[in-house]
């Protein structure tokens, strides 16, 4: 019997050099590639559908099939299933013997009035004085014996006796629900942190004195130095969580107010108050409020990885110490004159190391030039910086951070630093000028003013999720038109039992990044 020698296969020799872990890794990568390919195919089909121009009749038919009131309730139950029931847990400071409306009804009516863009308490009282509106609010609350809604004055009397801290804890629970969803894990930045934008805004200003603790500014004449005008105002420092790069949700608020009573008007108008030796009231400010806000935010979310993003007012030793002590990263806007020593080190290093620069082209063909510097020393801190020149913008963008800097990371750091404008545009500007009437005085009482402010933040959170769940480009809705439409439908139609069952069903919600047409 002849013996046939074994000749090994060359392919077998090549395959034998791979480990099983390599094969598993390649298999996982193949699954990811296939998934991305399916996603790209789906997106291409969606783009083709968007490019097809619809007739006005087709748009009307699509709008008829959309039940906006039901979708609003569905979004609330999908993202915050315990929101309606947890309203009952808010402490009610009113005397129960003289209370007609429960606390959950009062708070819900105020949230809905902000979503419906009512510009005053009277507009809310008159606008919701409707049988269909009462039935719909009863459906939201799960009540059957509701025959009347609270008046605006009744709501203000309730808000005067509420504790703003209760509403802040309520907002914390809403944010916890969002960050625990796997849907928004892609919103994390750099090393897995959640980006939080911090900035202050004004929600009240008047030439007349509001209270003993409001802020004030004295305007003097350049000719004789006499006081010609005094402004009284209230500010709030706001921390907003960025999700999906286009939505900003209030996560913590810190009201800026003077602890000590301010001087009377006669003293403020006097010229002697401006003299150097005069004892003046040290007013509260944005910087002081940041330290208080940071402690509250850390206490509310002790394990949350955070990246703080601010404007050029914040870079200083105190801010760096707070971020290091609390275990937070930071990306701060930087300008000339803020910390001259850092600016000088940055320019020196960039000049000596021309290789620390990157040129890139944006999606719209814009030129992006990056220059970065690492290990800049300031008061015992190692600071990194990046400078971005965008061909579409006249002025450059300059950011400092504690993240490691490289040719790859400098792009993402600059990109996330430019998100700071989201708190101005999608946050404050939207709430002041586009439906929420943040600067309107809904009540003269300062505690009630705080409650109104916090409930507007709750309404804005719900509205953003609801707006992004609607394909507004296909339906040809603007943001204002969408809110006007749901306000009209809320008063002209009522939710059927089938609508309520559908709204409470768990479902997957697709969020559209592009909103208004």
pLDDT of 32 > 90? The answer is no
pLDDT value, residue 16: 42
pLDDT in tens, 371-420: 999 999 999 999 999 999 998 888 899 999 999 999 889 999 999 999 98
pLDDT in tens, 442-463: 999 999 999 999 999 999 999 9
Q: Give, for 248, the enclosing helix (H) or strand (E).
A: strand 247-256
Q: Under CATH, what is the fold of the domain 191-272+281-429?
A: Transposase Inhibitor Protein From Tn5; Chain A, domain 1 (3.90.350)
pLDDT of 174 > 70? The answer is yes
SS (H, E, C) 443-456: CCCHHHHHHHHHHH
pLDDT value, residue 40: 62
d(CA 52, CA 380): 59
| Start and end residues for every CATH 3.90.350.10 domain found in the chain | 191-272+281-429
Q: Which residue, among 118, 41, 111, has the nearest Cα to 80 in the 3D structure?
A: 111
pLDDT in tens, 141-171: 998 888 999 999 999 999 999 999 999 999 9
d(CA 287, CA 401): 18
Rounded to the nearest angstrom, the gap between the alpha carbon of residue 206 and the centroid of all alpha carbons in its chain is 27
pLDDT value, residue 98: 87
d(CA 37, CA 454): 43
Q: Is the pLDDT higher at 3 or at 147? A: 147
- Do 300 and 173 meet the contact criterion of CB atoms below 8 Å apart? no
pLDDT band at residue 12 using 50, 70 and 90 as cut-offs: very low
pLDDT of 14 > 50? The answer is no
d(CA 507, CA 509): 6
List the beta bridge partners of residue 195. 307
Average pLDDT score over residue span 99-110? 94
Q: Which residue, among 188, 207, 91, has the nearest Cα to 412 in the 3D structure?
A: 188
pLDDT value, residue 438: 94
- Greatest distance between any 2 Cα atoms in the chain: 123
pLDDT in tens, 112-132: 999 999 999 999 999 999 999
Q: Is the dihedral of CA 409, 410, 411, 412 positive or negative?
A: positive
d(CA 309, CA 290): 12
List Cβ neighbours of 502 (8 Å cut-off, separation of 6 or more).
70, 74
**Burial of residue 479, with CB atoms counted within 10 A of its CB: 0-12 exposed, 13-18 middle, 19 or more buried:** middle
Structural Rg of the chain based on CA atoms: 28
pLDDT band at residue 62 using 50, 70 and 90 as cut-offs: confident
Q: Mean pLDDT across the chain, nearest whole number? A: 88
pLDDT in tens, 259-290: 989 999 888 998 888 887 777 888 999 999 99
List Cβ neighbours of 65 (8 Å cut-off, separation of 6 or more).
none
Cα–Cα distances in angstroms (integers) from residue 199 to residues 93, 285, 308, 328, in the given order: 31, 12, 11, 17
pLDDT in tens, 348-379: 999 999 999 999 888 777 889 999 999 999 99
pLDDT of 45 > 70? The answer is no
């Amino acid at each position: 019997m002849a013996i046939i020698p074994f000749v090994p296969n060359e392919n077998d020799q090549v395959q034998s050099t791979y480990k099983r872990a390599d094969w598993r890794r390649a298999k996982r990568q193949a699954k990811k590639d296939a998934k991305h390919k399916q996603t790209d195919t789906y997106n291409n089909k969606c783009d083709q559908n968007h490019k097809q121009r619809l007739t006005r009749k087709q748009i009307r038919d699509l709008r008829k099939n959309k039940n906006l009131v039901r979708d609003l309730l569905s979004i609330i139950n999908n993202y915050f299933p315990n929101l309606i029931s947890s309203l009952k847990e808010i402490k009610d400071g009113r005397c129960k013997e003289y209370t007609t409306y429960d606390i959950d009804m009062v708070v819900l009516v105020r949230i809905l009035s902000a979503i419906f863009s009512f510009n005053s308490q009277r507009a809310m009282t008159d606008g919701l004085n409707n049988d269909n509106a009462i039935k719909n609010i009863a459906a939201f609350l799960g009540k059957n014996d509701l025959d009347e809604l609270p008046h605006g004055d009744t709501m203000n009397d309730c808000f005067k006796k509420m504790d703003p801290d209760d509403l802040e804890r309520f907002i914390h629970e809403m944010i916890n629900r969002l960050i625990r969803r796997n849907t928004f894990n892609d919103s994390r930045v750099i090393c897995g942190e959640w980006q939080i934008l911090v900035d202050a805004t004004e929600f009240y200003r008047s030439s007349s004195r509001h209270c003993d603790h409001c802020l004030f500014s004295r305007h003097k004449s350049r000719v004789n130095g006499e006081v010609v005008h005094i402004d009284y105002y209230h500010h709030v420092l706001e921390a907003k969580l960025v999700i999906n790069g286009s939505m900003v949700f209030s996560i913590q608020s810190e009201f800026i107010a003077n602890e000590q009573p301010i001087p009377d008007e006669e003293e403020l108008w006097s010229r002697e108050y401006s003299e150097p030796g005069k004892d003046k009231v040290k007013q509260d400010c944005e910087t002081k409020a940041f330290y208080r806000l940071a402690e509250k935010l850390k206490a509310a979310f002790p394990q949350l990885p955070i990246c703080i993003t601010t404007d050029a007012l914040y870079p200083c030793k105190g801010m760096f110490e707070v971020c290091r002590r609390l275990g937070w990263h930071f990306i701060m806007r930087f300008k000339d004159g803020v910390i001259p020593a850092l600016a000088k080190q940055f320019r020196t290093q960039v000049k000596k190391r021309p290789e620390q620069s990157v040129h890139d082209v944006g999606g719209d063909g814009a030129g992006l030039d990056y220059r970065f510097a690492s290990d800049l020393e300031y008061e015992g801190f190692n600071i990194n910086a990046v400078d971005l020149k965008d061909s579409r913008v006249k002025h450059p963008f300059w950011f400092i951070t504690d993240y490691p800097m490289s040719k790859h990371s400098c792009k993402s750091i600059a990109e996330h630093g430019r998100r700071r404008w989201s708190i101005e545009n999608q946050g404050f500007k939207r709430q002041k000028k586009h439906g929420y009437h943040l600067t309107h005085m809904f009540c003269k009482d300062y505690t009630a003013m705080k409650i109104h402010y916090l409930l507007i933040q709750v309404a804005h959170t719900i509205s953003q999720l609801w707006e992004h769940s609607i394909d507004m480009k296909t339906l040809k809705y603007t943001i204002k038109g969408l809110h006007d439409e749901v306000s009209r439908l809320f008063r002209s139609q009522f939710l059927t039992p089938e609508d309520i069952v559908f709204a409470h069903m768990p479902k997957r919600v697709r969020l559209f990044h592009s909103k208004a047409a």
